[in-house]
Amino acid sequence: MPNKAGDRGNTDRRDAVQRARLRRAGDLTPVSVPKVADEAMRDLTRAREEALRDLKAAKFRLTACVLRHDIRYTGSATWGPAHLRWLAAVVCPTPAPPIVFQEEVRAVHEHTERLGRLERARHDQVQSWRVSPVVAALQARRGVQFTVAVTTVAARGDRTRFDHPRPLMQCLGLIPSAYSRGARRRPGTMTNAGTTPARRAFVDGAWSARDPANVSRQLPRRLAPPPQAIQEISWKAQGRLCTRVRRLMARGQHANHVVVAMARALVGCMWAMATPVPVTP
């Protein structure tokens, strides 16, 4: 709350008067307090993000340990069954490096098991979550699978917070920053405000808009639960986003700028899909 410079008086009466004046002037920003179940799902989502980050770091350390001894994998795909069998058969030239190598391999397996446990726990908790119908409805959109849907719904919180998708875009930090002076207008990068996992999930889901509009083999299985109206919104948005991507790319826009614009459009699409879904209070 704004305070005057040099004002060191702090009494209950003065604080109450100041809050009343700010409330009347509209200078106070409302804060949404999440429900206990919603905050628990956020914690589970954050724990999965941390486990995934630790797993990537462990894989990077293991790869660096192997490359330091000029031992290279000649297969096509890494971290698959064939790659794991190759790692189990690696022989180091001296006695000391195998100790480090085995510890790094063990760390990769431990983080993989941890990530699997968190994903199973998250899937079980979503089944009894009060907004599980919204999670199921959002998966009707191409590029929005289970992880993206749960992350975005958990970050958004109460659906009554936003009566329009633009404040939600601002809350997620997907709108461009601006620096304007006089007649000069200079837009900048996105503001990066709000929750980082939710913003990353929207950007990851927006990359699917670069492909032509179609129905994949996995999408019909996710399209079964939502009603027909939500499926129509999903298909209409998919066509519009694909057309907009081609138009922006033809104008010479950078691919990263285009995908951020698609992420903003994806927020509006998911907001429209989640609005008509009934939710248990």
Q: 190 forms bridges with which residues in the sheet? A: 176
Q: How many helices (H) and strands (E) does the chain have?
A: 11, 2
Q: What angle do CA 169, 170, 175 make, to 5 degrees?
A: 80
Other Cβ atoms less than 10 A from the Cβ of 188: the count is 9
Q: What is the pLDDT of residues 18-29, one digit of tens each?
A: 889 888 888 887
According to the model, what pLDDT value does residue 101 have?
Answer: 84
According to the model, what pLDDT value does residue 59 have?
Answer: 92
Calculate the alpha carbon distances from 110 to 26, 78, 99, 115 in Å. 51, 18, 16, 9
DSSP code of residue 143: T
Other Cβ atoms less than 10 A from the Cβ of 26: the count is 7
**Residue type at position 242:** C
Tell me which residues of the chain have a pLDDT lower than 70: 1-2, 94-96, 159, 215-226, 280-281
Question: Considering the entire predicted model, what is its pTM?
Answer: 0.76
**Residue type at position 37:** A
What is the Cα–Cα distance from 18 to 12, expressed in whole angstroms? Answer: 10
What is the Cα–Cα distance from 88 to 131, expressed in whole angstroms? Answer: 44
Residues 6+ apart with CB under 8 A from 273: 137, 138, 140, 141, 226, 230, 233, 234
Paired tokens of 14: 């003065």
According to the model, what pLDDT value does residue 107 have?
Answer: 92
According to the model, what pLDDT value does residue 96 have?
Answer: 63
According to the model, what pLDDT value does residue 60 have?
Answer: 93
Paired tokens of 3: 């305070």
- 126: phi then psi, degrees, rounded to nearest 5: -65, -30
Closest residue by Cα to residue 85 from 97, 67, 73:
73
- Looking from the CA of 203 toward its CB, the CA atoms found within 13 Å total 18
